[in-house]
């Protein structure tokens, strides 16, 4: 069942009923000011860091779900409604929510009063615009009252929801004309405030929540709205809000437009006040002037749309399959960008307070955005590298505001260092900017280094931390951070993510071994590009050693083992009763090249199909754990079929897709792709539940009662890896250090496809033909009519369009 439809031309998903199976959200803002907005206007805003600088309040896990947001109420003759359906939930005659790239437009019509609200964050501005257009579609004059509503958060989101004894006494506001300023804690150590304004005269306001709402009322029945009369309340402590009221007459057919603006201002310490106790509003006035009429808002909106057009233009696909085209050309890239911006901090599943930016997560996110914003990728790599320890290990998370490692989690996840090689190599391949490796970036202890030293430290960390089977020590955990082999936890509430009470653990990870041999060729090539031949040779020897170790100690009967536990016992083997086959090492060991020649890869991938495949994707492990295993940790804490315990982790399905392309099985690779790509799941939205335009981290696995139901949508490495799998390995258009490689592996029945790929300034218009209906193999490549040798497109860097004709066979 569908709850809307894709409008590809506008690059929108259009939701046609408000009661979606879960709130379907969008993200506004992509630089510093961010806002999460659901299809019924729920959500919240923050500046840079959802934990420390939260501008509006949101209550997770609330009843009913998703109340609290950017609300408008209309009042007429004692009756009132919300044009976004929530929170009043009066049934609307028409409802529509268009989630577009960086904006959402929600339309609601009731009794012939049509209201359309366009929500967006303009480029390079620390504010959000809500442009509300209201039209009288009836044939008589109407008298209406409009109420706005937002609720301020007292900045620190965790403190805001816990420290009531203090917070109920700190709230402060100022009101001037149509603008409500939120200045809690500005009198002391904060140098920032927020404001909510509208570009018109107002007839009243409220800034105290209880005066607006009534102590025992919900969002759906604010006292002020019910009475049709603002109370002009001033908040002193308790909960500051901002609400305007505007009375209006609308003639038959008349339309009015109001621009509401929620802004964030930072002042220098010396410039905080304009008079004792009165905040300096100079910057706020300027920000208001920037968007105070429709012309300016239209212009800002156009700029936002143009900016997305030009970002997405770097990779555009025409395949003849509209679902695939919209995933690749629009939504997957959009999700990659959002995920890159926010890491795993703020979504409807991530509260914005529990996690900073992950080291491994952020590196993986780069592979989804480096073709759009290489400059920002570059900066992120430096920020990440700066949190690396001299021995190559890394802080597991860093905090975006101060760019420091997060001490609460520390380090010890032994896969982390390797992802820096992946992230940096992707940047180098995209840009050819090898000078970057000489960029100075110190280690966490302040010791001077250049970026290349960090990659070397990453590589050597794995080499220097091997266990009894010459496989990498897992440390606290690897990519699967619920496989906690050095944490034996028997106390409720202990964090599996932090507790490491087996310091002497020699537990080893076959997955890290697979990652090592997968990323090592890039490291070696980077050494060569720098003329470090000896290091390259040395590194190659380590790779051979690792391959030997995998072959000798990392292979079970028909697949790769997962690990050796604290006791040296196999994990992920037929010898185990549960947890016999894990997905992760199967993907990585094959990507690293093991088994491609001797048939092992095929055997392994057949086992994966046989044991892990379901109607909704590949489960992470089989059989699932039915009871708690203290020696395995968090994975066995989940009920069977959920999360790491045999859920369908959409993040690692693409590793198998890529492995399938490496043995030439394009049909199988694409079948796996379609099983989890959200646009293909639109028709089963009532089962899948989360947004049909973005991936979720997890779909409940075969052993779950709710098999097929997704959770944790939006912020997940799934976005970047699926983008890599489809664009680089299935469509096969892949940046290499000195060229763009064309190496598709597609379903046999495809006649071909067309891709526009901007690479280092050149615009390649690539037409792939598949006359013999093969899956893999390139017979001929012509650039601008001239045949070239092989399948590597030269780098022209002339900024021109180049026609590329590829014949498979
Ligand atoms: C989740 C993992 C996540 C980890 C880190 C665990 O509870 O199951 O998916 O990576 O927390 O926060
Ligand atoms: C989500 C985390 O963000 C990521 O770092 C981890 O690799 C996966 N879960 C798997 O456990």
Q: How far is Cα 269 from Cα 279, in angstroms, rounded to an integer? A: 11
Q: Residue 299's pLDDT band (boundaries 50, 70, 90)?
A: very high
Q: pLDDT tens for residues 616-641?
A: 999 999 999 999 999 999 999 999 99
Section 485-491 average pLDDT = 97
Q: How far is Cα 470 from Cα 110, in angstroms, rounded to an integer? A: 69
Section 410-415 average pLDDT = 95
Q: How far is Cα 652 from Cα 672, in angstroms, rounded to an integer? A: 11
pLDDT of 150 higher than 90: yes
Q: Is the CB of 114 under 6 A from ligand 2?
A: no
The strand pairing partners of 621, in sequence order, are: 582
Q: How far is CA 535 from CA 57, 433, 522, 531, in A?
A: 53, 21, 13, 9
DSSP-derived letter for residue 494 is: -
Q: How far is CA 135 from CA 84, 141, 148, 257, 301, in A?
A: 15, 11, 17, 9, 21
pLDDT of 403 higher than 90: no
DSSP-derived letter for residue 390 is: T
CB atoms near residue 493 (< 10 Å): 5
CB atoms near residue 270 (< 10 Å): 8
Ligand 1, atom 3: nearest CA belongs to which residue? 481
Q: Is the CB of 480 under 6 A from ligand 2?
A: yes
Q: Is the peptide bond before 388 cis (omega within 30 degrees of 0)?
A: no
**Catalytic residues, which ones?**
481
pLDDT of 400 higher than 90: no
Distance 644 CA to ligand 1 centre (A): 8
Residues 144 and 174 sit within 8 Å (Cβ to Cβ): no
CB atoms near residue 298 (< 10 Å): 12
Distance 480 CA to ligand 2 centre (A): 6
pTM: 0.98
Q: Is the CB of 357 under 6 A from ligand 1?
A: no
pLDDT of 677 higher than 90: yes
Q: Is the CB of 358 under 6 A from ligand 2?
A: yes
Q: Is the CB of 645 under 6 A from ligand 2?
A: no
Question: From the alpha carbon of 643, which atom of ligand 1 is closest?
Answer: 8
Instruction: Considering every ligand atom shown, identify the ligand nearest to the alpha carbon of residue 721 and give its number.
Output: 2
Q: Residue 356's pLDDT band (boundaries 50, 70, 90)?
A: confident
Quick one: CA dihedral 637, 642, 644, 645, positive or negative? Answer: positive
| Cα-Cα end-to-end distance for the chain | 40
Distance 418 CA to ligand 2 centre (A): 15
The crossing angle, in degrees rounded to 10, of helices 600-612 and 584-591 is: 160
Residues 242 and 180 sit within 8 Å (Cβ to Cβ): yes
- 366, two tokens: 């780069």
Q: pLDDT tens for residues 52-98?
A: 999 999 999 999 999 999 999 999 999 999 999 999 999 999 999 99
Q: pLDDT tens for residues 157-212?
A: 999 999 999 999 999 999 999 999 999 999 999 999 999 999 999 999 999 999 99
Q: Which helix (H) or strand (E) holds 520?
A: helix 510-529
58-70 in b/e form (b: 16+ CB < 10 A) is: bebeeeeebbbbb
3-state secondary structure of 218: coil
pLDDT of 249 higher than 90: yes
Q: Is the CB of 399 under 6 A from ligand 1?
A: no
Instruction: Considering every ligand atom shown, identify the ligand nearest to the alpha carbon of residue 339 and give its number.
Output: 2
DSSP sequence for 679-694: GGGGGGHHHH-S-TTS
Section 549-559 average pLDDT = 97
When the pLDDT of each residue in the chain is averaged and rounded to a whole number, the result is 97
Section 591-614 average pLDDT = 98
Q: How far is Cα 221 from Cα 337, in angstroms, rounded to an integer? A: 38
CA 437 to chain CA centroid, nearest Å: 27
Alpha helix (H) residue ranges in 432-508 = 451-464
Q: Is the CB of 478 under 6 A from ligand 1?
A: no
Q: Is the CB of 415 under 6 A from ligand 1?
A: no
Q: pLDDT tens for residues 716-741?
A: 999 999 999 999 999 999 999 999 99
pLDDT at 280: 98
Residues 358 and 477 sit within 8 Å (Cβ to Cβ): no
Distance 499 CA to ligand 1 centre (A): 14
DSSP sequence for 356-371: -EEHHHHHHHHHHHTT
Distance 91 CA to ligand 2 centre (A): 40
CA 303 to chain CA centroid, nearest Å: 23
Cα angle 740, 742, 744; round to 5: 145
Ligand 1, atom 4: nearest CA belongs to which residue? 481
pLDDT at 132: 99
Q: Residue 402's pLDDT band (boundaries 50, 70, 90)?
A: confident
pLDDT at 114: 99
Q: How far is Cα 43 from Cα 86, in angstroms, rounded to an integer? A: 12
pLDDT at 796: 95
Q: How far is Cα 579 from Cα 646, in angstroms, rounded to an integer? A: 9
Q: Is the CB of 482 under 6 A from ligand 2?
A: yes
pLDDT of 686 higher than 90: yes
Which of 476, 651, 721 best tests ligand 2's pocket when mutated (most atoms within 8 Å of CB)? 651
Residue with tokens 């999460």: 36
The strand pairing partners of 413, in sequence order, are: 475
Which of 644, 649, 696, 700 best tests ligand 1's pocket when mutated (most atoms within 8 Å of CB)? 644
Question: From the alpha carbon of 344, which atom of ligand 1 is closest?
Answer: 12
CB atoms near residue 787 (< 10 Å): 9
Section 764-769 average pLDDT = 98
Distance 202 CA to ligand 2 centre (A): 49
pLDDT at 415: 98
Report which of 670, 666, 656, 776 is spatially closest to residue 721, judged by C-alpha positions. 656
Contacts of 444 (CB under 8 A, 6+ apart): 386, 387, 388, 389, 390, 395, 405
Question: From the alpha carbon of 480, which atom of ligand 2 is closest?
Answer: 11
Q: Is the CB of 360 under 6 A from ligand 2?
A: yes
Q: pLDDT tens for residues 301-310?
A: 999 999 999 9
pLDDT at 408: 87
Q: Which helix (H) or strand (E) holds 399?
A: strand 397-399
Distance 293 CA to ligand 1 centre (A): 46
Which of 364, 406, 482 best tests ligand 1's pocket when mutated (most atoms within 8 Å of CB)? 482
Instruction: Considering every ligand atom shown, identify the ligand nearest to the alpha carbon of residue 511 and give its number.
Output: 2
3-state secondary structure of 18: coil
Distance 718 CA to ligand 2 centre (A): 10
Q: How far is Cα 719 from Cα 11, in angstroms, rounded to an integer? A: 18
3-state secondary structure of 330: helix
Q: How far is Cα 168 from Cα 184, in angstroms, rounded to an integer? A: 11
Q: Residue 398's pLDDT band (boundaries 50, 70, 90)?
A: confident
The strand pairing partners of 70, in sequence order, are: none
- 602, two tokens: 């095929």
Residue with tokens 């044939």: 139
Instruction: Considering every ligand atom shown, identify the ligand nearest to the alpha carbon of residue 415 and give its number.
Output: 2
Burial class (CB in 10 A: 0-12, 13-18, 19+), 4: buried
Ligand 1, atom 6: nearest CA belongs to which residue? 482
DSSP sequence for 478-498: -SSTT--TT----STT--TTT
Distance 48 CA to ligand 2 centre (A): 22
pLDDT of 399 higher than 90: no
């Amino acid at each position: 069942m569908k709850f809307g439809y894709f409008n590809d031309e506008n690059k929108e998903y259009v939701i046609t009923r408000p009661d979606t199976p879960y709130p379907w959200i969008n993200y506004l803002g992509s630089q510093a000011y961010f806002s999460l907005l659901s299809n019924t206007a729920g959500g919240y805003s923050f500046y840079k860091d959802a934990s420390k600088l939260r501008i509006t309040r949101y209550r997770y896990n609330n009843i009913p779900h998703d109340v609290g947001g950017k609300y408008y109420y209309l009042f007429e003759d004692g009756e009132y409604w919300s044009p976004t359906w929530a929170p009043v939930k009066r049934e609307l005659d028409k409802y529509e929510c268009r989630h577009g790239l960086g904006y959402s437009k929600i339309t609601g019509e009731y009794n012939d009063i049509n209201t359309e609200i366009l929500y967006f964050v303009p480029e390079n501005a620390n504010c959000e615009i809500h442009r509300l257009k209201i039209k009288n579609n009836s044939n008589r004059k109407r008298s209406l009252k409009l109420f706005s509503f937002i609720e301020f958060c007292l900045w620190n989101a965790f403190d805001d929801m816990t420290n009531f004894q203090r917070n109920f006494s700190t709230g402060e506001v100022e009101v001037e004309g149509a603008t409500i300023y939120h200045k809690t804690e500005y009198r002391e150590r904060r140098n920032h405030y927020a404001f909510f304004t509208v570009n018109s005269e107002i007839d009243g306001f409220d800034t105290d929540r209880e005066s607006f709402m009534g102590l025992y009322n919900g969002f759906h029945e604010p006292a002020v709205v019910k009475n049709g009369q603002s109370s002009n309340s001033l908040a002193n402590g308790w909960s500051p809000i901002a609400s305007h009221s505007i009375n209006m007459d609308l003639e038959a057919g008349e339309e009015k437009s109001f621009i509401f603006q929620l802004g964030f201002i930072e002042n220098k310490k010396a410039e905080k006040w304009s008079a004792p106790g009165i905040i300096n509003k100079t910057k706020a006035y300027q920000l208001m002037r920037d968007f105070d009429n429709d012309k300016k808002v239209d212009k800002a909106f156009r700029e936002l749309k143009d900016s997305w057009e030009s970002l997405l233009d770097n990779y555009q696909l025409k395949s003849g399959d509209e679902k695939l085209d919209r995933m690749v050309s629009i939504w997957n890239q959009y999700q990659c960008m959002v995920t890159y911006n926010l890491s795993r901090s703020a979504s409807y599943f991530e509260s914005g307070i529990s996690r900073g930016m992950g080291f491994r997560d952020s590196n993986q996110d780069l592979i989804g955005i480096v073709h759009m914003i290489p400059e920002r990728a570059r900066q992120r790599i430096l920020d990440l590298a700066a949190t690396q320890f001299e021995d190559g290990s890394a802080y597991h998370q860093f905090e975006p505001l101060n760019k420091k490692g997060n001490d609460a989690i520390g380090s010890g996840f032994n896969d982390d260092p390797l992802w820096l090689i992946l992230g940096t190599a992707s940047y180098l391949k995209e840009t050819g900017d090898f000078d970057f490796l000489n960029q100075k970036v110190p280690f966490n202890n302040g010791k001077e280094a250049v970026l290349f030293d960090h990659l070397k430290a990453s590589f050597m960390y794995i080499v220097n931390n091997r266990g009894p089977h010459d496989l990498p020590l897992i440390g606290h955990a690897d990519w699967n951070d619920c496989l906690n082999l050095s944490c034996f936890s028997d106390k409720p509430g202990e964090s599996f993510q932090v507790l490491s009470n087996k310091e002497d653990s020699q537990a080893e990870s076959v997955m890290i071994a697979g990652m090592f041999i997968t990323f090592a060729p890039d490291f070696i090539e980077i050494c060569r590009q720098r003329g470090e031949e000896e290091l390259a040779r040395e590194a190659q020897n380590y790779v051979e050693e690792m391959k030997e170790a995998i072959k000798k100690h990392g292979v079970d009967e028909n697949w790769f083992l997962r690990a050796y536990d604290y006791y040296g016992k196999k994990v992920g083997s037929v010898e185990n009763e549960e947890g016999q086959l894990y997905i992760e090492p199967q993907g990585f060991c094959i990507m690293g090249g093991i088994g491609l020649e001797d048939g092992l890869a095929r055997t392994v991938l057949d086992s994966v199909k046989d044991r892990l495949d379901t109607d909704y994707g590949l489960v992470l492990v089989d059989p699932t754990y039915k009871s708690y295993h203290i020696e395995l940790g968090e994975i066995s804490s989940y009920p069977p079929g959920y999360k790491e315990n045999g859920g369908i982790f959409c993040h690692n399905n693409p590793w198998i897709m890529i492995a399938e392309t490496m043995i030439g099985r394009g049909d199988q690779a694409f079948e796996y792709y379609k099983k989890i790509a959200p646009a293909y799941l639109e028709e089963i939205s009532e089962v899948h539940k989360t947004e049909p335009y973005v991936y979720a981290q997890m779909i409940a696995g075969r052993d779950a009662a709710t098999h097929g139901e997704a959770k944790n949508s939006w912020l997940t490495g799934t976005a970047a890896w699926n983008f890599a799998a489809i664009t680089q390995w299935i469509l096969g258009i892949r940046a290499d250090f000195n060229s763009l490689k064309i190496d598709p592996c597609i379903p046999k029945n495809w006649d071909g496809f067309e891709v526009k790929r901007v690479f280092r300034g050149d615009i390649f218009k690539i037409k792939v033909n598949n006359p013999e209906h093969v899956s893999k193999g390139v017979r001929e490549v012509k650039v601008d009519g001239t045949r070239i040798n092989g399948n590597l497109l030269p780098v022209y860097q002339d900024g021109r369009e180049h026609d590329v004709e590829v014949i498979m066979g």
